[in-house]
Structure 1
Amino acid sequence: MSYDYDLFVIGAGSGGLAASKRAASYGAKVAIAERDLVGGTCVIRGCVPKKLMVYASKFAHYYEDAVGYGWSEVQPSFDWQKLVTRVDNEVKRLSKLHISLLEKAGVELIPGDASLLDPHTIKVGDRKVTADKILIAVGGEAIKPDIPGAKEYTITSREIFLLPEQPKRFAAIGAGYIAVEFSCIMNALGSEVTQFIRGDRFLRGFDEEIRSNVQDAMIQHGINVVPNSYVPKIEKVSDGLEVTYLDKEKNTESKIIVDAVLFAIGRAPNLAFLGLENTNVEIVQCEDNQSLPNLHGYTTNCAIKVDEYSRTTEANIFAVGDCTNRINLTPVAINEGRAFADTEFGDNPRVFSHETVASAVFSQPEAATVGLNESEAKEKYGDAIKIYRARFRPMYHSFTGKDEKVLVKLVVDSNTDKVLGAHIVGENAAEIIQGVAIALKMGATKKDFDATVGIHPSTAEEFVTLR
């Protein structure tokens, strides 16, 4: 049978862009549909604009720290509107750049919502096209809970970059890295920040010492972290937004008034209106799906079922990225997309490994990790696990007067001497862990780390001097 395209990609985010360009490089006729700006979550409303705001927020610390090094004290002022305008302009520039790269690769961009009419037919607006293979790369979207005031008065990570004014009083609801990062950003920019979390600690899934070190430092920096709390409603009052919250341990109710409320409680795959019901693509439900809010009729932790080759349960339909809910990181989506294209169009069948993937939290202090955390390692290897750690004040703060601490930690299997995990909290943690991740990916042992000469004086050298 003849088709309009060899490959049709739904979603021009990180995974879809990578897959479409790689497939086109093999000679495939490719089209990609996108209803939003080209670039996806990362470029438009995620890691890129977020990191720019992280950079902006750090200058407040630099002004303070400089005094200890002999610089005269200054009274800086901050222009929120200038920052968000420049961030928005950069996002649009990058989106246009991705469009030009698609054109250069020979990929046809079709703007609009795409939905499946059958396993080989896609409708985009009033246009119908056919494709031999279809790749779903629609990503995810931030969710809000079904409580009074959430829909009308709160924002998500999508809207925070476009606020016309800086909220002087800011509340973040959530315990994941997005809530943590924006709490730190807004705090450093001068807002009064409160963060509500359901448990004792945030950043679930990270090493316990990362969790405690980051949280304790944020509290020390002036962020009001409210643990074991639940927000049942948000109301608009004369002088802002009134947030009602419950202390689950004390069983008490309290209220605060803020100017903006960020919900960062999770993200849901963008599976609505795709027409999946017209195919045999299977949707899987993860554990505890009943306790999470719904988005467009799907629970937040539902995802497209795929195998290691990103194949769905429909023979010619594939899926990559956040809509598969494997590891929701931009570089992972990119590598999944390229592996799919190599396998299906490049005569190079290969599987992308989801093991030993490094990640970072751009909090203040920054945190980064690769491999197993201590509890995961002990669960898998038991008493064979040996921990090496160092916690100290970095040289940078010798003259600042601040009681900042760095944590460096290795998790080692004493039977094989293999390093199973590496964790760090401190300045430039992400830059440091990237190099360490190469060592772990190659199966480095503690002896390999010990045999490596450190760069002195640096924080990174601690990874090769731990005893």
Structure 2
Amino acid sequence: MCGGEGRAVRLPGAPECAGVFQQEGPTPAPAMEGKQDYDLLVIGGGSGGLACAKEAAQLGKKVAVVDYVEPSPRGTSWGLGGTCVNVGCIPKKLMHQAALLGGMIRDAPHYGWDVAQPVQHDWKKMAEAVQNHVKSLNWGHRVQLQDRKVKYFNIKASFVNEHTISGVTKGGKETLLSAEHIVIATGGRPKYPTHIEGALEYGITSDDIFWLKDSPGKTLVVGASYVALECAGFLTGLGLDTTVMMRSIPLRGFDQQMSSLVTEYMASQGTHFLKHCIPSRVQKLPDGQLQVTWEDLTSGIENVGTFDTVLWAIGRIPETRSLNLENAGINTNPNSQKILVDAQEATSVPHIYAIGDVAEGRPELTPTAIMAGKLLAQRLCGQSSDVMDYSNVPTTIFTPLEYGCVGLSEEEAIAHYGEEHVEVYHAYYKPLEFTVAERDASQCYIKMVCLRKPPQLVLGLHLLGPNAGEVTQGFALGIKFGASYKQVMQTVGIHPTCAEEVVKLRISKRSGLDPTVTGC
């Protein structure tokens, strides 16, 4: 890990917050002698960068935010707020909700509602509502920066030296800005498989799907990441013919038993899966459809299919290439291109920091970037010495059957502690809401990964079912602060809920007993 050589010191007689902005360490470049334009300059107007900027400004610092959205290859662009607000969490959850509502409408007749079937979905109307909400959030971020007297620059930044950046507007006008401390929070963008013929010309990514004015129609989603499965899930839920092409395993890095259950449920709801397949070519036909050629890695046979839309969801790359990091002496991982940071979020240059998706070894999650940004601002202002704790961070994948998790996967626990020292309690359960509507609940499943030795510290919790995020958030508190299996079992459940199934986990995998929940 890099960074941390410079030590913050307070000048005699200086205010408590201001003093931390004086550094021991490398002497600034001659061009930067004298007073800087800003105490803190944040590059990137996403969740982490905005949180850091607003916190520092509230603590009395002179702060600027530089943000610029390079349009996607398809020409999609958006406003202030970063990936989460514009092309991530927010529009994704709203479209997920649209799909869930379709399922509820189909359930409604079982509950006595006279709803004409089949129901039709209007993509254009949904998209307009989602996009209007996102635009309101863009505006809200602008207002919040203004209220906190944070200067906002809509310019594309690159480093001139370790204290100065050059920013270029859309019209080509250049601005030079300097700061005593700089935070890089530029996030990442979706990968394109540029080695595949037609991929760039005819494909789209998650940067585009949420801003489409018209329905994508029959869609091929290439990839098995959470982005791929979430998008495929809501597209299927909205009534679109959707296929997922997977090269290897789904949800790499997540618990693989849970990942298999996620894809099994999606398949049961109508999503098609092409497993162990890789695309080789995308061509546009005279009628406008896209012809995709792919290879089945198991048989070696080449196949062809036609789609209206091809969505690439094969991972993300950090937005570091245009920053000219070498001008400031900032080290990156040569493989990932992410910025190397220490526990204080400092780069190899002590007064330059990196937070969020652009930093090496950090979870690519909005809430962790926000908290890291706030804590960094507080440390820079001498208000706190707390550093971000990245252990036991909860998250949820918003597939049709949601997957919430916190802590270690079963594979990680066994690898770390040994199978003989790990106890896994599990249960298949049926949400009460699924009963009257006669919904398939065969993939609704919970498991708690624990140490076998009493009191059996909880190492991880994994839940597949409705509202998994809401359930996981509550249990994350206990797991974060060292809850044991015994303590969870002493917790009274709320009946009838899916969450109560967690505190009723009595059957271990080791026992070999049937984990299916029956009755109340």
Using structure 1 for the length normalisation, give the TM-score: 0.95
Q: 3-state DSSP class of the match of 2:317?
A: strand
How many angstroms apart in 2 are the aligned matches of 1:66 and 1:429? 22
1:20 offset after TM fit, Å? 0.6
How many angstroms apart in 2 are the aligned matches of 1:394 and 1:93? 36
Q: 3-state DSSP class of the match of 2:160?
A: strand
Instruction: Quote the residue 1:40 is aligned against.
Output: 82
> Which one has the largest radius of gyration?
2
AA aligned opposite 2:355: V
Of 279, 286, 289 in structure 2, the residue corresponding to residue 238 of structure 1 is 286
CA distance 1:275–1:400, shift in 2 (3 Å): same
Instruction: Quote the residue 1:109 is aligned against.
Output: 152
How many angstroms apart in 1 are the aligned matches of 2:57 and 2:430? 51
1:19 offset after TM fit, Å? 0.5
Instruction: Quote the residue 1:156 is aligned against.
Output: 205
Using structure 2 for the length normalisation, give the TM-score: 0.85
1:73 offset after TM fit, Å? 4.0
- Tell me whether 1:78 sits opposite 2:121 in the alignment: yes
The aligned runs of 1:193-342 (5 Å cut-off) are 193-199=242-248, 201-239=249-287, 240-285=289-334, 289=335, 301-325=336-360, 326-342=362-378
Partner deviation per Cα, 1:89-122 (whole Å, 9 max, x = no partner): 1111001101111111111111111111000111
How many angstroms apart in 2 are the aligned matches of 1:415 and 1:302? 41
- Does structure 2 conserve the Cα–Cα contact (< 8 Å) formed by 1:23 and 1:346? no
AA aligned opposite 1:396: E
Instruction: Quote the residue 1:430 is aligned against.
Output: 469
How many angstroms apart in 1 are the aligned matches of 2:123 and 2:440? 29
AA aligned opposite 1:454: G
Q: 3-state DSSP class of the match of 1:235?
A: strand
Partner deviation per Cα, 1:14-57 (whole Å, 9 max, x = no partner): 11101111111221111111113210100011100111111111
Q: How much is the aligned-residue C-alpha RMSD, in angstroms?
A: 1.1
How many angstroms apart in 2 are the aligned matches of 1:168 and 1:269? 30
Q: 3-state DSSP class of the match of 2:462?
A: strand
AA aligned opposite 2:343: E
Instruction: Quote the residue 1:374 is aligned against.
Output: 410
Instruction: Quote the residue 2:164 is aligned against.
Output: 121
AA aligned opposite 2:114: S
- Does structure 1 conserve the Cα–Cα contact (< 8 Å) formed by 2:204 and 2:309? yes
- Does structure 1 conserve the Cα–Cα contact (< 8 Å) formed by 2:159 and 2:165? yes
- Does structure 2 conserve the Cα–Cα contact (< 8 Å) formed by 1:168 and 1:190? no
- Tell me whether 1:345 sits opposite 2:345 in the alignment: no
How many angstroms apart in 2 are the aligned matches of 1:253 and 1:404? 36
How many angstroms apart in 2 are the aligned matches of 1:401 and 1:110? 54
- Tell me whether 1:13 sits opposite 2:49 in the alignment: no
Of 428, 433, 441 in structure 2, the residue corresponding to residue 391 of structure 1 is 428
Partner deviation per Cα, 1:178-200 (whole Å, 9 max, x = no partner): 0000101110111101100111x
Q: 3-state DSSP class of the match of 1:159?
A: helix
1:210 offset after TM fit, Å? 1.0
How many angstroms apart in 2 are the aligned matches of 1:156 and 1:264? 6
AA aligned opposite 1:227: K
Taking only the aligned residue pairs, the percentage that are identical comes to 38
Of 452, 477, 486 in structure 2, the residue corresponding to residue 414 of structure 1 is 452
Q: 3-state DSSP class of the match of 1:303?
A: coil
Q: 3-state DSSP class of the match of 2:239?
A: coil
AA aligned opposite 1:158: D
How many angstroms apart in 1 are the aligned matches of 2:489 and 2:121? 45
Q: Which runs of 5+ in 2 are unaligned?
A: 1-33, 70-78, 169-173, 507-520
- Tell me whether 1:27 sits opposite 2:60 in the alignment: yes
Instruction: Quote the residue 1:144 is aligned against.
Output: 192
- Does structure 1 conserve the Cα–Cα contact (< 8 Å) formed by 2:190 and 2:207? yes
| 4+ long deviations beyond 6 Å | none
Structure with the higher strand share, 1 or 2: 1
> Larger deviation: 303-312 or 115-124?
115-124
Aligned length: 452
Q: 3-state DSSP class of the match of 2:387?
A: coil
Q: Which runs of 5+ in 1 are unaligned?
A: 290-300
- Does structure 2 conserve the Cα–Cα contact (< 8 Å) formed by 1:283 and 1:302? yes
1:404 offset after TM fit, Å? 2.0
How many angstroms apart in 2 are the aligned matches of 1:167 and 1:10? 33
- Tell me whether 1:466 sits opposite 2:505 in the alignment: yes
How many angstroms apart in 2 are the aligned matches of 1:238 and 1:438? 56
- Does structure 1 conserve the Cα–Cα contact (< 8 Å) formed by 2:128 and 2:213? no
- Tell me whether 1:61 sits opposite 2:103 in the alignment: yes
Instruction: Quote the residue 1:295 is aligned against.
Output: none
> Larger deviation: 187-196 or 77-86?
77-86
